[in-house]
Amino acid sequence: MRILNLLAILIIGLLIISCGKKQSQNSGELDYSENMSEQSNAESLKKISSQTQSKIDKWKNECDALSNRVSSNEFSKYDFSKFWEKKYDLGYIGKNFQRMLITFEKVTKISSDEYSIVGFSQVKSNVCKFKGTIHNITFNQYKLLEDDCQGYNYENAQSRGCVIADFKIEEDPNQKGTGVFLGVLQSQWVILANGNIEQTFSGCGDGEIGDQFFGDWISYKGGNKFVAWGVYRIPFSDELDIGASEFCPVEEYINYGWEEYKQ
């Protein structure tokens, strides 16, 4: 009798687990836990290359030289999710500047220091679902307020600055050619006289620059590739972008996904 009771409990437990998995699948949320590749938990996936880390350190130092760090408490009431919820059609991966598209379908504020991301990447015809976070968020206020091409009069604004944060984006390991994106981002903001916050951009005569993302893509099978994407311009793309007032790829890399820009 005791054995029959134990078997009954075991069967009920298995049914509960099975139902829970079906509900997770039907909810539309990405769940990588069941078939997550062992490589995704490897120590190598937690590290970006030394070359990329050097770029990040230099870039952050340059940002700090132009701005002052502000307490995150001052920005806890603002939601930056709409800043990033968009399609980024200017991006590349690897040494040949292979074009890469990044789409953040849904960005959700978890706290003033963390946002969740759901979306997909595309390189050539390979489309991969992903989920991730924007985290370790810091807020910097620019030391100088200047007018820009959007018509903002910054002298009448309360403040202007940028968001600097880390990102970690995990592609679905059950799909082909997937890995993890690790890196940093910068987005610019302005708080207007009425207290509302809006996204803004830098640049004028030589073209505007919006969100900037860069870091490493690390394959679940091993190996790093430098990646970058942005709005209007791509960071670290001097060898690719020869445009004056707008993005224009050099002829050498046209066949790496940039054919629509061929003149």
Q: Give the model's pLDDT for residue 233.
A: 93
237-241: which pairs have CB atoms within 8 A and are 24 or more residues apart? 237/92, 237/97, 239/97, 240/92, 240/97
The span from the CA of 228 to the CA of 237, in Å, is 8
- The mean pLDDT of the chain is 82
> Max Cα separation, the chain?
84
Q: Give the model's pLDDT for residue 87.
A: 97
Residue 28: which pLDDT band, with cuts at 50, 70 and 90?
A: very low
Q: Measuring CA to CA, which residue among 56, 39, 38 is closest to residue 218?
A: 39
Q: Give the model's pLDDT for residue 16.
A: 43
Asked if 174 contacts 121 with a C-beta cutoff of 8 angstroms, the reply is no
Lowest mean per-residue pLDDT among 44-48, 72-76, 150-154, 258-262? 150-154
Residues 107-146 pLDDT 10s: 999 998 999 999 999 999 999 999 999 999 998 888 655 5
Residues 161-206 pLDDT 10s: 889 999 999 999 999 999 999 999 999 988 888 888 888 877 554 5
Q: Give the model's pLDDT for residue 155.
A: 64
> CB-hemisphere CA count at 13 Å for 159?
14
Q: Give me the phi and psi of 97, to 5 degrees please.
A: 55, 40
Asked if 37 contacts 179 with a C-beta cutoff of 8 angstroms, the reply is no
This prediction has a pTM of: 0.80
| Higher pLDDT, residue 70 or 182 | 182
44 DSSP 8-state letter: G
Residue 49: which pLDDT band, with cuts at 50, 70 and 90?
A: very high
Residues 14-39, mean pLDDT to the nearest whole number: 44
Residue 20: which pLDDT band, with cuts at 50, 70 and 90?
A: very low
How far is residue 113 from each of residues 105, 128, 152, 225, measured CA to CA in Å? 20, 26, 27, 27
